[in-house]
């Protein structure tokens, strides 16, 4: 807008004001001190009222936000605790299955020794192992992420590797069972051995089975040793897992695994 246009606008505005002041309805007391004070007090009251209403509305909104945030935080915590329990129970399942397998192998050795068969090759002392899990435990990435969030991805990786090894171990034992059952089905091998000892095995049976017995015995001894190592590793993982989850949830009573058993069962979540 140019200076000339601004000047014209100002003159027109002044003319309008003067015209209004000279109109028949104009009263000279409209701008009296009383009216000005009344107007001022009304305006101030309106402003103060608006401010107070705004403050109240802000507080209400803030309280609602905090309440909703608290509910959301509680829900998040419940979801995370559920995932933590799921991981713990899955690890417990693996650890107990490992112990069951080791117990079955050790019991076979004990029974063989009691029967005077301690000198037999190991694969002939261990019977086919029953009661293997139908499936293996698999840790879900979305569950294990909680361990990353807790600052311990190492225990997440270690637990996942343990689960993978256990899955492989199940297949290894199944292979052993198949080979061991094949040996049991040969009467020349087991009937003679059980009745008279290994020296009474016929030359034909010995030739037929000797290499397989040696190979299968080494196979058994290898996975039995690996099983013992994994049982010990599982204990370390369980201790590390428990420590991590206790710190993350700030709950010193969060259940921990020891020897495949849960400690502090009274603190398990209730439905």
Question: d(Cα 205, Cα 47) in Å, to the nearest integer?
Answer: 108
The 3-class SS string of the chain reads: CCHHHHHHHHHHHHHHHHHHHCCCCCCHHHHCHHHHHHHHHHHHHHHHHHHHHHHHHHHHHHHHHHHHHHHHHHHHHHHHHHHHHHHHHHHHHHHHHHHHHHHHHHHHHHHHHHCCCCCCCHHHHCCCCCCCCCCCCCCCHHHHHHHHHCCCHHHHHHHHHHHHHHHHHHHHHHHHHHHHHHHHCCHHHHHHHHHHCHHHCCHHHHHHHHHHHHHHHHHHHHHHHHHHHHHHHHHHHHHHHHHHHHHHHCCCCCCCEECCEECCHHHCCCC
What pLDDT shows up at residue 153? 92
Residue 256 contacts residue 239 (beta carbons within 8 Å): yes
What pLDDT shows up at residue 165? 95
What pLDDT shows up at residue 109? 93
Each as own residue / partner, the long-range contacts of residues 156-160 (CB below 8 Å, 24 or more positions apart, any chain) are 158/233, 158/236, 158/237, 158/240, 159/87, 159/91, 159/237, 159/241
What pLDDT shows up at residue 73? 76
> Mean pLDDT of successive 10-residue segments in the chain (271 residues)?
46 45 49 53 56 54 54 81 94 95 94 84 89 82 90 94 95 94 75 52 72 91 97 96 94 88 60 43
What pLDDT shows up at residue 66? 55
What pLDDT shows up at residue 13? 42
Which position has the token pair 């016929």? 202
């Amino acid at each position: 807008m140019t200076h000339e246009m601004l000047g014209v606008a100002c003159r027109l505005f002044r003319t309008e004001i003067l015209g209004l002041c000279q109109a028949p309805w104009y009263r000279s007391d409209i701008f009296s001190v009383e009216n000005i004070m009344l107007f001022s007090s009304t305006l101030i009251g309106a402003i103060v009222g608006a401010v107070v209403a705004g403050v109240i509305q802000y507080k209400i909104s803030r309280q609602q936000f905090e309440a909703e945030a608290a509910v959301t935080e509680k829900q998040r915590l419940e979801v995370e605790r559920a995932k933590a329990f799921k991981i713990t129970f899955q690890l417990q399942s693996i650890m107990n299955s490992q112990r069951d397998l080791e117990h079955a192998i050790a019991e076979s050795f004990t029974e063989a020794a009691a029967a005077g068969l301690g000198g037999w090759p190991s694969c002939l002392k261990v019977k086919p192992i029953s009661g293997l899990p139908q499936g293996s435990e698999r840790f879900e990435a979305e569950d294990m992420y909680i361990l990353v969030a807790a600052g311990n991805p190492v225990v997440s990786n270690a637990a996942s590797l343990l689960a993978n090894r256990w899955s492989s171990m199940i297949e290894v034992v199944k292979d052993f069972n198949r080979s061991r059952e094949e040996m049991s089905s040969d009467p020349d091998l087991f009937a003679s051995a059980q009745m008279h000892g290994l020296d009474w095995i016929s030359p034909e049976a010995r030739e037929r089975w000797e290499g397989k017995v040696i190979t299968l015995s080494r196979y058994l001894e290898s996975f039995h040793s690996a099983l013992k190592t994994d049982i010990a590793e599982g204990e370390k993982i369980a201790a590390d897992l428990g420590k991590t989850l206790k710190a993350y949830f700030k709950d010193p009573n969060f259940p921990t695994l020891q020897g495949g058993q849960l400690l502090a069962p009274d603190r398990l979540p209730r439905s």
